Amino acid sequence: MPTAKNPTIKIGIGGWTYAPWRGTFYPSDLAQTRELQYASQNLTSIEINGTFYGLQKPSSYEKWYQETPEDFVFSLKAPRYATNRKVLAQANETIERFFASGVLLLKQKLGPINWQFAPTKKFDTEDFEAFLKLLPQSIEGQKLRHAIEVRHESFKTPEFIALARQYQVAIVLSGDSDYPQIADITAPFVYARIMGTTDKQAKGYSTQALDAWAERARQLAAGKTPEDLQTAAAAPAKTSARDVFLYVISGFKERNPAAAMALIKRL
């Protein structure tokens, strides 16, 4: 994994299987079995969504590793069974099964794990700290990175920011969406998901909007919080360079690969 002294900005999309991408992103004559290989040659990361709905086979992780470039990175959506529960402290067995399912077969291509919570889940200090304590910092010598995607206004509080910083867990930065935006830097990396692509723009976003997100990514990689993003607490006294993972998600999904590639070109 890159170090903070040499940060990288990884840009990607959610998944790689989507019928409307054929002929717009994928060549119409490309074999479906080569879609991941093609996507990984044009993007620098992909967020896998299938892991949110169920455990994947070890053979799948091995296949994904083999089909992608050496410096490619996968981020994984953690199982919903771990986050969609009333008592988060009881998620330990689900978390253990997830990491035992073959995740580590991605080796150095394993990026952050995104633990996404439902919009109805409210912040409770004891509840969330119990959950954060369950997240392993490393397994079998492989360091892990965790991000938490919260979608309720109750999380926009300094208390939650302090908790995330204590456990060095990133808070997912939601861009161009109706979800609360929390751009506070709380971990040695930044995880952003932007959701504003539209069918009115050939590349999903306007030139101005793409330029703006590219500049925000540069600032975040330098350890700075862009002034036009919303935070819930004061910035830390010391900042340092950090890796950035930015995914173009939702919105007008057909345009997401074009938006991601346009950002990669700018960066």
What whole-number distance in Å separates Cα of residue 211 and Cα of residue 205? Answer: 10
Task: Give ∠ CA 16-20-21 in degrees, rounded to 5.
Answer: 45
Question: What percentage of the chain has pLDDT greater than the value 70?
Answer: 98
Question: Quick check: is 154 in a domain?
Answer: yes
The pLDDT of residue 237 is: 74
Question: What percentage of the chain has pLDDT greater than the value 90?
Answer: 96
* Structural domain total, the chain: 1
Average pLDDT rounded to a whole number, residues 52-76: 98
Average pLDDT rounded to a whole number, residues 194-213: 98
Average pLDDT taken over every residue of the chain: 96
CATH code of the domain covering residue 69: 3.20.20.410
Q: Tell me which amino acid residue 159 is.
A: E
What whole-number distance in Å separates Cα of residue 104 and Cα of residue 114? Answer: 15
Average pLDDT rounded to a whole number, residues 162-180: 97
- Please check whether residue 85 is in contact with residue 117, taking contact to mean a CB–CB distance below 8 angstroms: no
17-39 per-position pLDDT tens digit:
999 999 999 999 999 999 999 99
Give the domain range for residue 194.
Answer: 9-266
Whether residue 3 is predicted with pLDDT greater than 50 in this model: the reply is: no
Question: Quick check: is 2 in a domain?
Answer: no
Provide the strand spans (E) within 104-233: 110-116, 138-139, 142-143, 146-149, 170-171, 173-175, 189-194
Question: Quick check: is 1 in a domain?
Answer: no
The pLDDT of residue 4 is: 52
Question: Quick check: is 124 in a domain?
Answer: yes
Residue 191: strand pairing partners: 245
Question: Quick check: is 106 in a domain?
Answer: yes
What whole-number distance in Å separates Cα of residue 155 and Cα of residue 173? Answer: 12
The pLDDT of residue 236 is: 82
